[in-house]
Amino acid sequence: MITGASSGIGKATALECAKLGASLVVTARNKERLQTVLGKLDRSKAQEHQMVLADIATDEGLNTLISSLPALDGVSSNAGIIVVNAPIKFLKDDVMENVYNVNTMSHVKLARNLYKKKILKKNASYVFTVSVGGVTAFNVGNSAYGMAKAALNSFMKFCAVDFSTRGIRCNSVCPGMIETPMTDTNGLFTEDDYQKDMEHYLLKRYGKPEEVAWTTAFLLSDASSFITGVPLLVDGGASIVK
């Protein structure tokens, strides 16, 4: 299952996993975009794909999704939003609550339900899309987003411990800046700003969604069968350039 599959990293993960032969359940809250992704999924190996329209940041949406699922071999948990940067003294309660609800609690509640209801098969793999924000990167104005992502990364490790009794592996991917709609700031930053920021990356560029998707596919596959509890950085080397 791929959550947040209608755009960005979630969409790329769905497309790449289908190419590798996986049968998918794709879910998101935007019907039109999700249907477009469903139509593009590879079916050359007789895969059977389904979509579930649901906003998993709400109890109603979560229940809709859970009741629609078959047993799962793996999960790529991608749902997320980004917020406008603000120094700590200007943080607003409603902004923090919203970003925590979507970027942390929706993932927590989904994982809890999938495990409790035994929808996750034994020896399944669970991959959370986190971020370098709050894990290796601590920038002015990014505290709300970073704290939510750091909490999710910590939750991943607790899942790795709890779920290991059924042989279920849990890991996270922690991307740096990736060229997705989430990083479009509507003119807040200029092209020069972006170019200057790219200098902080050893590879002197931002990542592509499919580069994160390939990492997730590796963690979902048997190729990573002895890896669990690991936050895997996908950041073009930015974390070691300080």
Query: Containing H/E element for 195?
Result: helix 191-198
One-letter amino acid at 110 equals: L
* Whether 46 contacts 22, CB under 8 Å: no
Which candidate in 100, 115, 145, 206 is catalytic?
145
145 among known catalytic residues: yes
Beta strands across the sheet bearing 2-3:
50-53, 25-28, 2-3, 72-77, 120-129, 169-175, 231-234
Judging by beta carbons within 10 Å of its beta carbon (0-12, 13-18, 19+), is residue 134 exposed, middle or buried? buried
Quickly count: other Cβ atoms within 10 Å of residue 184's Cβ: 11
Catalytically annotated residues: 145
